[in-house]
Structure 1
């Protein structure tokens, strides 16, 4: 987080859970389908909206716990898809911003961002919300130092504890050893570890597509140890833009010295429906797979309105760390084993709804129904009334094979300030049809008592259909507003061909490169791929086909050579990747 929040919550004395439905899904889709909590951060502007940011997912005793900024509690899951919300019995009255969490042996430790003195909490039973004080007060650091955006790290091999923190466009990422014999108080002095260098690292420049001259922010520290190396993760350049990303420095010791990874950023998603991948953490699932979490950008009501995403992550044979954001907002399989190929979790279910015609039962003012298929979370449709029976129908224009649907609600002129109100939930039905006359009910959430602002629904069996209809039942907010209804599946045609012409040229400013390609008929969009070797094309920038056939990539590092390539996708699949072009 780049600012300190002031937010008072009505606390609940005992733990309770909002139970998810029985696990039937084999896939997930970003943004994560959780009951994002209502925020009231801008008191003077009377803004009310659901948001989540700065995630930490911890694998504790084979189950998963998700901690998110200003949420009044945390989430528990056994499968990374069904998340139950828990309100703990102890929680800071100003709530937790960018919390630190770690699981060591049988204990989960929790600490909040602060510039004051605050306790470290612990529990051996986080599933029931019982928290205890591990220490009463971590000593205060000098003014403006923190620890804001903290991360806790335990090195099992060294049997030592560390903390990393920092959130500033002036100060660096800091680190300190913690004294295990003194209830994890600071041991010795803290160290300055990472400063941003946007004059060298193009992706660290602020603004949309790195086009602002504002001094960028660094935040979101996290430490991962892999094969004896220490990967100190950090977020940059700012949460309120599409280029929010995670990078890493590497060292042989938990407190450095650290060396910049030339392949940065490790997690980057500037294009598509979900944009922004910065400020999260890295964790392992029960099969040993790594994941990187991040904070995508919504910004309808305020620039800091956000969601949560997670991406498959790995370390290649050379120790290069990467998060796979290619098709990162389309459905992916939940792993049942350790994956061997970075793309094997992608279902191949393509986006069928992009710019498809839609009709609505009613439209308020200029909030047109076409907004629900434009893949832009900042535009939305609003019904004239928030009443049962309002509907939207999407015409896919051809009978296609449908596997899943995602409904993304928007908070338009919301007036909900008590996030614990039991009346906050979403209910609707989804129908399909081949002719627009005979309808089949596919999903019925009429008994749902869970709030699902980004509801992802997977069909148990694929369905052939041309029309998708959303039928409204209930949302708690005064307005029924939906940014996007996204339909995933397979078309009946052929995958597109790779562009006949593709070029990439370095700018006179070596932080930039200009990429051009030839338009492919029938394309939905293009993925620009790049990396530091032909077999390391880990970066992706998605561009839709109704945009220009050119892109300025402004995320390169001076002194590093890159390879660029392109692939094309449509409703039927993905082309082969073009020959990689060397850019020195």
Structure 2
């Protein structure tokens, strides 16, 4: 079941020319997300993806996630094949720990009672075997050097949200934790005669400090509260260990998966069990703005070309708090030990590298969003779910057709003839009413283009074999001139045909916008916050506010739409750390020159 594209009427000379096109992808990644069964007792059914663990194994990539009934493989990080395993836990797997030791892949689910660790030496076959049949219970007492908080005198049941790590000397370690009370733990382990042996007692690794780290505050844009204003302690979870140049990067997700500010951070040590030091350039993966929001709880892996990647869990949250997808972003480690993940234009098309890439930002294709807030019309509409909701860049807002039947259409008017390079169709699960492996859970549709809205040309379509594609992405093998893009429905497995956003990428063919002027940046009396402002750029579609701990390393990005205003409150700063900020504008033609970095004072 390979992801691919079928395009017609584009003057392609043959398959050899198509293969020469540099491959791209866009977030959320295009896989057949499985239907979640957790909320079926409430009559809610939706596709979900979360807590991705990607490992490189014998030249290929394997993706595991929460509440799937199997896993995916890829040879290029673009096309993913679902693999149905020979055995799988009855209650599925949540936030698995996954590790390749070169010979086998180990798969350990989150657990609150004794469960198994599975392994495979041939992951493409789906053949899984027991590596550890029953995990031993964790010892009760916490390790030395930790003063327990009230109610924290014992290690909670688990390990929940585990991470496995094998060091260069052959020693194994286990890290885990998912709580807004308990810390993240680590312990050395060993595998002996089909058993897992704990060596010593669990040792606390790190805890959240939202009073010092602004990005660790819970809530939308780190509000620190629930929607009703009730204060809440942030959550820490999603441990992952990466060793680079003798440094141990113990990563974690915070402050909560339910909002746009979900991020990955890291502590660093020269020993696998610490002591660990907080990285002042945290968070490392941060994406609170744009269509895809949230980058926390994932994995870090190195591809076959030596490039680093970080994955995370973007938020959907319409049907249920924990309705989510999977994102993947290029990362890097500087020689001085700083880790960073590039989420700049992180939901626009990016190239999949075929060699070593020095600058992760160079993977951005430069294909701009052409569909934002454009007029859309539909063959039918259900209730208040109007066609224009499919161009607002909000996954929680969507068009619903009057009927889920073949031939229903959704047409977007780009306003003028433009150069099309890629299209992404993001479906929503509105009152889906079913779940699981029903035979009709598949996606089928065609895309068409037109210059005049009357004469239509095939643009792209889903291909056999049938499968589910809730975030279908089509890269066009050659540029196409068009003003209109039309979705022609075939089939979706849910009760309703609902599209959150039909996103069109390419170029309007003009000059890139001017750089913003008058950038000011002032820190609040609360040093975790800063206010950034700039002069609006005529015709801009949006802005990227970029900041970091050095003027030449603006590693963090918040994307803003121009209709949101020319200002941003950053609430993700670390107390006692100096920052610099710059702003760039973008429109349908390209990206402006970045302003000179100014110090946040």
Q: Secondary structure at the match of 1:551?
A: strand
Q: Secondary structure at the match of 1:546?
A: helix
Corresponding position of 2:149: none
Q: 1:144 aligns with which of 156, 178, 182?
A: 156
Deviation for aligned residue 1:180? 3.6
1:528-553 Cα offsets, whole Å, 9 max, x none, are 00000011100000000001211110
Deviation for aligned residue 1:184? 3.4
Corresponding position of 1:402: 420
Q: 1:441 aligns with which of 455, 458, 466?
A: 458
Corresponding position of 2:434: 416
Deviation for aligned residue 1:316? 1.8
Q: 1:201 aligns with which of 213, 232, 242?
A: 213
Q: Does 1:112 align with 2:109?
A: yes
Q: Are the structure 2 counterparts of residues 72 and 446 from structure 1 closer, same or farther at C-alpha, using a change threshold of 3 Å?
A: closer
Q: Distance in 2 between matches of 1:236 and 1:135?
A: 30
Q: Does 1:260 align with 2:278?
A: yes
Corresponding position of 1:305: 323
Q: Does 1:186 align with 2:198?
A: yes
Corresponding position of 2:570: 553
TM-score, with structure 1 as normaliser: 0.95
Corresponding position of 1:455: 472
Q: Secondary structure at the match of 2:360?
A: coil
Deviation for aligned residue 1:181? 3.6
Corresponding position of 1:162: 173
Deviation for aligned residue 1:447? 4.5
Q: Secondary structure at the match of 2:568?
A: strand
Deviation for aligned residue 1:342? 2.3
- The 10-residue stretch of structure 1 (83-92 or 482-491) with the greater mean CA deviation from structure 2: 83-92
Q: Does 1:75 align with 2:95?
A: no
Q: Distance in 2 between matches of 1:323 and 1:184?
A: 34
Deviation for aligned residue 1:218? 0.2
Contact 1:400 1:490 survives alignment (8 Å):
yes
Q: Distance in 1 between matches of 2:529 and 2:517?
A: 24
Q: 1:134 aligns with which of 126, 131, 134?
A: 131
Corresponding position of 2:254: 236
Q: Distance in 1 between matches of 2:178 and 2:362?
A: 35
In the alignment, structure 1 segments of 5+ residues that lack a partner are: 1-17
What are the equivalent positions in structure 2 for 1:420-499 lying under 5 Å apart? 420-445=437-462, 447-499=464-516
Deviation for aligned residue 1:404? 0.3
Deviation for aligned residue 1:77? 1.1
Contact 1:174 1:194 survives alignment (8 Å):
yes
What are the equivalent positions in structure 2 for 1:14-413 lying under 5 Å apart? 18-21=1-4, 26-141=23-138, 142=140, 144-156=156-168, 158-181=169-192, 183-211=195-223, 212=225, 213-413=231-431
Deviation for aligned residue 1:145? 4.0
Contact 1:31 1:308 survives alignment (8 Å):
yes
Count of residue pairs brought into register by the alignment: 565
Q: 2:554 aligns with which of 525, 528, 537?
A: 537
Q: Distance in 1 between matches of 2:271 and 2:335?
A: 21
Q: Distance in 2 between matches of 1:91 and 1:408?
A: 29
In the alignment, structure 2 segments of 5+ residues that lack a partner are: 6-17, 141-154, 226-230
Q: Distance in 1 between matches of 2:238 and 2:191?
A: 24
Q: Distance in 1 between matches of 2:464 and 2:341?
A: 37
Q: 2:581 aligns with which of 561, 564, 575?
A: 564
Contact 2:310 2:331 survives alignment (8 Å):
yes
Contact 1:512 1:555 survives alignment (8 Å):
yes
